[in-house]
Every structure is written in structure tokens, then in C-alpha cells.
Amino acid sequence: MQPALTSIACPSVVRSACALVLVLAATTARAQPGSLNAPNLNAQASTAGSKYQDVDPRHPLAPALKLARASRKTLEGVRDYQCLIIKREQLNGAELTQTMEMKLREEPFSVYLKFQEPNPGREILFVKGQNENKLLAHEGSGIKALVGTVSLALDSPQVRAENRHPITEIGMRNLIDKVIAGWEYEGQFGESTVQYFPEAKIGGISCPAIECMHPQPRRQFKFHLTRLYIDAQSNLPVRVENYAFPTAPGQQPPLVEEYTYVKVQTNVGLTNNDFSTKNPAYKF
């Protein structure tokens, strides 16, 4: 049983921006166990720069990878952007949903986050190569806000308690790179079913979806199901969903993580001031 495609829970503040519609009729391609590419542990780097051999063009993931790589190519022209990011993750047996305003600059890699919910007013700042490569954070209200700005290691317990990944892995470029790397590896094996949902929408915006599903847990499959959404107009990768394998027959696959980027504005000319604690618009 696959996770429902017709509704996605979203924070109330961005519910209209996250509303998801998928047409269930989809194009499907499958690879059977042992078919097409066999794993080659001694494979040399592919012509595309992957550490795995090129995926056989007959494999269901081959056309999916072509679309994902085209989206990644689009990001090469994106120097910076601001957006809303909605993050849903399973952490310690509970689902945590966070909605944040985000500014991101690729070089040097810089991130500013301002929380909308929960913890409204919390601000996070990270600039690669500054502050000993630690992030700066402060709460927006309450007793913790009295502490002021604190410096935290990327893998500190406070940070890991609310994040499956470090802040250095945030952003659309990191998102699509992970999907491509995963599909390049999975493309060395069979047991893949790929579906295309050309009418998928996020917040009324056309975002065709690609879904790759594996029927059985295998060592080579990190997730049971991955969905990638690509904005039809901008060709940017704006959402990824990853689901674990069901633990019982007929059970819905549990969501592991979901990252959605909405209201994206690219190449807005972000400067050092956008990633500075001295910015008068911030509360550091």
C-alpha cells in the first residue's frame, strides 16, 4: 500500500501554499529482480561523474534520472534565493513539522532561517568558514530568549534533536543531489517501479512528480518510496518525500522526511548583510 497521494498535512500558516493535488492515473515502468544492471562493486566512475556505472537506458530509473539531472542543471544558474521551507521529519518516534523563512547563498554557502512555527521568531544563521563553522541561534520568546545568541556545533545534541540532517545539507541543490545519487545507485539493481504524475500541483502550481518505489526491503534500498516534485515553470526541485518500508502487510509506508520549498525567488542579490548578526532586521 502506498501513502495517500491526495492530501498532505501542512502548517496552517502555509496551508494554501502547500495544498497538493495529484492525478492518480500515471505512467508506470518496472524493473524485475535481477534484471538489467547487476551491482558492480568495481565499477569505474560513469561519464556523468557518478561513482557508479551508467544506469542502463532500459532501467525505469533512466528517464527519471534524466529529468532530475535537468533540474539540477537549472540550479547551476541560481546564485541565491529566498523562500519558505516546510520540513517534516520523523525524530525519536514523533513527527516534527517546521515552517521557516529562508535565505540561501551558494558561495560561500550561507543560510539564514527565521521560524514561523513552531518557535516563532527563532533565528538561525550559518556561514561556511565563519564562527568556527558553527551555527548561531537565538529563540524568539520565552525564558530561552533571555539567554541571547548561542553558538552551536552542527552535530550538537540541541541541533540533532530537531534535525535529521545538518544545516550544511539544506537547500534545493543538496536536495536534488541526494536524489540523483540515490537513484544512480538504485539503478544498478532491479526491483524498481517508477511512476510519473504530470498533473501534480503544490499550492495550485504545476509540479509534476516522479515516484520510485521498491517492493521489498533490500540492503541497497534506503527508502521504500521516494517522490520528487519539479516546478513545471522554473524546473526547480521543490519537494522530496521519502518513506520507509511498511512493517506489516497492508500498512501505509511511514513518512521519514519531507522537504518543500515554496514562494521561491531566485537570484535576488543577497549580500553579506543578509547573513550577518549585525543586520538591523534580525534579533541576534
In this structure, of 25-34, 57-66, 90-99, 211-220, the range with the lowest mean pLDDT score is 25-34
82-128: pLDDT as tens digits: 999 999 999 999 999 999 999 999 999 999 999 999 999 999 999 99
How buried is 275 (Cβ within 10 angstroms: 0-12 exposed, 13-18 middle, 19+ buried)?
A: buried
Confidence of residue 7 (pLDDT cuts 50, 70, 90): very low
211-244: pLDDT as tens digits: 999 999 999 999 999 999 999 999 999 999 999 9
Answering whether pTM is above 0.75, one says yes
